[in-house]
A and B are shown apart, each in its own frame.
Chain A
């Protein structure tokens, strides 16, 4: 115990020393809070410590939400230099709470945008170091055994063949999934987008509470198809798992980010880390099989394997739609809660309607029946109906309801009850209509 205490003392003394030495001294301990797996952080740590001798990168692994919470709770005596994670919205939250420090990276060769998304925060608080796209990942063995066709677009996942074979992480739990849902809503519009999402959701096998739960289930073959961020699939492929991945045309490429925490004890070290990450040497680390993220420096792709997706040259990735981060930010809580109340917590009801509608379609394909077709259409409209409009979702009143604590107005729990009841009624009515349609069609 004595030695441990001595060690802890020595480490804190080192940190103190580093902060006294101030700018210019790139030594001592650099502490980073990150949501990235060991397979990502280890190679970066090795390369960074080699590139900047005398510095030790201390990695604290926390999931994104816990990391944000941690910085918030410890702001009075902050010991952390950097925050390093995927979801841009987590950085927006930190920026809003004044927990980040502005900086101007000196690295060159990095364009302003990847796809339609700006790589760096316009106010200079956080910086993209890798790009990620969202798409569909599937297990080939599973697909063969269950005779699943190869999916190309989100709409494909709504087809009867995929019923009970698709998995997704809850957007309220996974920043990356939230961006996928938001991308669909922006790409297809509020009403059409929700229709697509719910039609897909009717085929969901499960809604997991961890981002990594989805690729894990697809890797081990418990679920056939997953809606995931690209590198989950690429790194699984690199580890030998029989999985494939596709970018649907309505998707978006978003940067994963790094930022300096306000009052960082080792600011010089933090700056050195960002410069390293954005340098060609740091960007090349991203190509490692266990990481497989898309570098933001286009020149680095020259060293990538032949089939590596390149968002700067790939025409399919290049024409992905623009992404409005402000719009996304304004309705984050509403979109997540709508998904939870209408899909996650009512998955059984939603699946039952969807199954009945698949059966109606199959019967209609054998023998058409106008009345049944009309009833099925009505059922689909009932399923697709939303309790709030796009304008309401982004309204200040709505945001106040989710802000909790110090703001007055409707309570989140009240809205949730209303939305859940809305969904429950519509799904029950839709199921009735679908079953009537099935009787007529048979």
Chain B
């Protein structure tokens, strides 16, 4: 690690400028209200005093912390078995399990909520059947525990993806060395494998924590209002839009999110997770005995059934005529698909373009930021990381309003405001999903030993060439994980999109869904669009996994 090169400084400056223009500035124009005094506009912190004096907000803060922490625990319980079975054992259909295990992340807005309620709600299928047969109901979707239940199902893929990528990257030599020294089984896993996979696990776990902390859709769906993110949303979008409290809460959210990221960085600081040898094919894949295979399939099947039940509900809903207070729909029809068929092609094309562009921007930025943070000694380089992560805590609506405020006044040569161009939707999506890609790339780079780059440089390669020929190829798994997460979550984003969509011809699937889901007759077509969105993203994810597997085999050679 030597001093910074001019190229690195330039890259850092470029990224800082990008984040400043498309994140800090638009958000700043909206959020500065949090620091102003009512009536005079002078700088003040009295609004923050109000926050801590208000019982509702303090209660919300603790509820959010509790729910986020518990969600991490349960999400880990769901993700660990899936990740281990698919990476540590010769397990047929690993790519399929990885894809299916990833689907919960893609829960289309509104319609996903309806499907969840129809299955797990107070009068959902499960409770109606329980009540009929056993005479009691289980409050799956009530209060804070309901939020934890839904959030764990929804966000555990963050841990699954990042942990799997990490496990695949562990050098087999480490495992073999441990085995030669007499370690095996659980001890081997606990002392060698898990610690080496820590960057991936922490990347996933911290994402789950922060995402749950900042998520407002699920608590609102369950009508839990005493959590922080819903409070911010309700305040910003209710009538008192000039009221500072909504932005005060947003600032608290940003600080808490960055704080959580900082803590997780602290946990990996000063430890070396990198391994030198590459292309060893990752961990040895053990063959499963017949009994073990049955056990593994059983566990995987059960988990998948649980986490995919919302999608099953969605599928039923998309074929249902009327589904009301009954375990199953009254009848089935394909009319909903016929109704959305004509117009969905525009939505699908737009979604693919927007989400893949956003994903591409995210992995480029994510790799660059991870490289700058981990491999250079630039002053304040961590600030790039933290600023980008803060995007996680910015309500989409605030970003949307900020974009309108900053870019609507900028006229293009044709007299059209800059903010009305569809590329702004892409940029908003890229900013909102950057944290996912960044964490994945960061974790991947932590696992690469700097000595490989030094070797390349000693052999005469310059920095750029080393990056291109050594670092990026070794990070493929992480970059891919980042792309897939950013892409698929961008494909179902709504809150910022809703503010920026200017015409139907520019609208993505999520907007189409929203437009349908406002009326009783639109429920079926909305669900059909939701199913299309899920299938679309699933197909892309599966393709990405197949590419990753092939790449992995190619690098692993015959080993």
Complex: A71 Cα to B421 Cα, angstroms: 17
Complex: A12 Cα to B422 Cα, angstroms: 13
Chain A neighbourhood of B41, CB < 8 A: 405-406
Whether A219 contacts B523 in the complex (CB less than 8 A), given A66-B499, A408-B40, comes out as yes
Contact of A414 among B50, B240, B419 (CB under 8 A): B50
A1 smallest CB distance to B (angstroms) = 8
B231 smallest CB distance to A (angstroms) = 9
B-facing residues in A12-71 (Cβ within 8 Å): 12-13, 16, 31, 36-40, 58-62, 65-66, 69-70
Contact of A39 among B122, B244, B397, B522 (CB under 8 A): B522
A38 touches B39 (CB 8 A): no
A142 touches B123 (CB 8 A): yes
A39 smallest CB distance to B (angstroms) = 4
Contact of A65 among B51, B237, B322 (CB under 8 A): B237
Complex: A241 Cα to B331 Cα, angstroms: 12
Whether A60 contacts B117 in the complex (CB less than 8 A), given A239-B322, A413-B245, comes out as no
0/1 per residue, A125-165, Cβ < 8 Å to B? 00000000000000101100100000000000000000000
B343 smallest CB distance to A (angstroms) = 9
A416 touches B520 (CB 8 A): no
B234 touches A209 (CB 8 A): yes
B417 within 8 A of A: yes
B519 touches A217 (CB 8 A): no
Chain A neighbourhood of B397, CB < 8 A: 66
Q: Which of B68-76, B80-88, B173-181, B220-228 contacts A (4 or more CB under 8 A)?
A: B220-228
Chain B neighbourhood of A61, CB < 8 A: 511, 514-515, 518
A298 within 8 A of B: no
A145 touches B325 (CB 8 A): yes
A79 touches B54 (CB 8 A): no
Contact of A212 among B241, B323, B417, B518 (CB under 8 A): B518
Chain A neighbourhood of B348, CB < 8 A: none
- Looking at A36, A232, A416, the one whose CB has the most chain B CB atoms below 10 A away is A416
A212 smallest CB distance to B (angstroms) = 5
B203 within 8 A of A: no
A318 within 8 A of B: no
A76 within 8 A of B: yes
Chain B neighbourhood of A290, CB < 8 A: 519, 521
Chain A neighbourhood of B94, CB < 8 A: none
Complex: A38 Cα to B414 Cα, angstroms: 31
A-facing residues in B16-68 (Cβ within 8 Å): 33, 38-41, 46-47, 50-51, 53-56
A336 touches B408 (CB 8 A): no
Whether A412 contacts B54 in the complex (CB less than 8 A), given A7-B505, A139-B324, A241-B520, comes out as no
Contact of A420 among B54, B124, B220, B522 (CB under 8 A): B54
B355 smallest CB distance to A (angstroms) = 15
A396 within 8 A of B: no
B129 within 8 A of A: no
B-facing residues in A228-252 (Cβ within 8 Å): 232, 235-236, 238-242
Residue of A nearest to B51 (CB): A413
B324 touches A336 (CB 8 A): no
Complex: A62 Cα to B504 Cα, angstroms: 12
A277 smallest CB distance to B (angstroms) = 19
Chain A neighbourhood of B353, CB < 8 A: 1, 4
Chain A neighbourhood of B301, CB < 8 A: none
0/1 per residue, A409-422, Cβ < 8 Å to B? 10111101100110
A74 touches B417 (CB 8 A): yes
Complex: A421 Cα to B53 Cα, angstroms: 11
B223 touches A12 (CB 8 A): no
Complex: A73 Cα to B415 Cα, angstroms: 17
Contact of A66 among B225, B237, B502, B519 (CB under 8 A): B237
Complex: A139 Cα to B326 Cα, angstroms: 12
A206 touches B415 (CB 8 A): no
Chain B neighbourhood of A9, CB < 8 A: 414
B39 touches A407 (CB 8 A): yes
Chain B neighbourhood of A239, CB < 8 A: 322, 520-521
Contact of A37 among B55, B124, B243, B515 (CB under 8 A): B515
Chain B neighbourhood of A212, CB < 8 A: 517-519
A139 smallest CB distance to B (angstroms) = 6
B325 touches A208 (CB 8 A): no
Complex: A207 Cα to B225 Cα, angstroms: 9
A172 touches B325 (CB 8 A): no
A287 smallest CB distance to B (angstroms) = 15
Residue of B nearest to A337 (CB): B240
B55 touches A420 (CB 8 A): yes
- Looking at B39, B50, B55, B409, the one whose CB has the most chain A CB atoms below 10 A away is B39
A-facing residues in B94-148 (Cβ within 8 Å): 114, 117-118, 121-124
Chain B neighbourhood of A207, CB < 8 A: 223, 225
B239 within 8 A of A: yes
B324 touches A241 (CB 8 A): yes
Chain B neighbourhood of A103, CB < 8 A: none
A407 touches B38 (CB 8 A): yes
B515 touches A220 (CB 8 A): no
B324 touches A141 (CB 8 A): yes
Residue of B nearest to A59 (CB): B504
Whether A77 contacts B409 in the complex (CB less than 8 A), given A12-B416, A139-B324, comes out as yes
- Looking at A208, A222, A290, A424, the one whose CB has the most chain B CB atoms below 10 A away is A222
A345 touches B118 (CB 8 A): no
A244 smallest CB distance to B (angstroms) = 13
Chain B neighbourhood of A60, CB < 8 A: 501-503
A333 within 8 A of B: yes
Contact of B405 among A16, A73, A402, A414 (CB under 8 A): A73
A221 within 8 A of B: yes
B315 within 8 A of A: no
Complex: A73 Cα to B322 Cα, angstroms: 41
B240 touches A417 (CB 8 A): no
B345 within 8 A of A: no
Contact of B422 among A4, A337, A416 (CB under 8 A): A4
A404 within 8 A of B: yes
Chain B neighbourhood of A73, CB < 8 A: 401, 404-405, 408
Chain B neighbourhood of A145, CB < 8 A: 325
A38 touches B422 (CB 8 A): no
Chain B neighbourhood of A371, CB < 8 A: none
Chain B neighbourhood of A411, CB < 8 A: 38, 46-47, 50
Complex: A11 Cα to B238 Cα, angstroms: 34
Residue of A nearest to B55 (CB): A420
A221 touches B220 (CB 8 A): no
Complex: A258 Cα to B321 Cα, angstroms: 33
A180 within 8 A of B: no
B325 touches A79 (CB 8 A): no
Complex: A59 Cα to B245 Cα, angstroms: 33
A222 touches B53 (CB 8 A): no
A176 smallest CB distance to B (angstroms) = 13
B498 within 8 A of A: yes
A77 touches B238 (CB 8 A): no
A341 smallest CB distance to B (angstroms) = 8
A406 touches B325 (CB 8 A): no
Whether A220 contacts B114 in the complex (CB less than 8 A), given A173-B238, A242-B324, comes out as yes
A344 smallest CB distance to B (angstroms) = 7
B-facing residues in A67-98 (Cβ within 8 Å): 69-70, 73-74, 76-77, 79
Whether A74 contacts B225 in the complex (CB less than 8 A), given A222-B124, A406-B39, comes out as no
B498 smallest CB distance to A (angstroms) = 6
Complex: A128 Cα to B122 Cα, angstroms: 39
B414 touches A220 (CB 8 A): no
> A7-B505, A73-B404, A76-B409 given. 13 additional CB < 8 A pairs?
A8-B506, A11-B505, A38-B518, A65-B237, A66-B499, A139-B325, A170-B234, A209-B234, A220-B324, A402-B239, A404-B38, A404-B243, A408-B39
Nearest 10 A-B pairs (CB), nearest first?
Answer: A221-B325, A404-B242, A408-B39, A37-B518, A37-B519, A236-B520, A413-B50, A141-B325, A39-B519, A405-B242
Q: Can you list 14 contacts pairing A with B, beta carbon distance less than 8 Å?
A: A7-B505, A16-B415, A37-B522, A65-B237, A69-B241, A173-B234, A209-B220, A220-B117, A220-B325, A345-B56, A402-B239, A406-B39, A406-B41, A414-B50
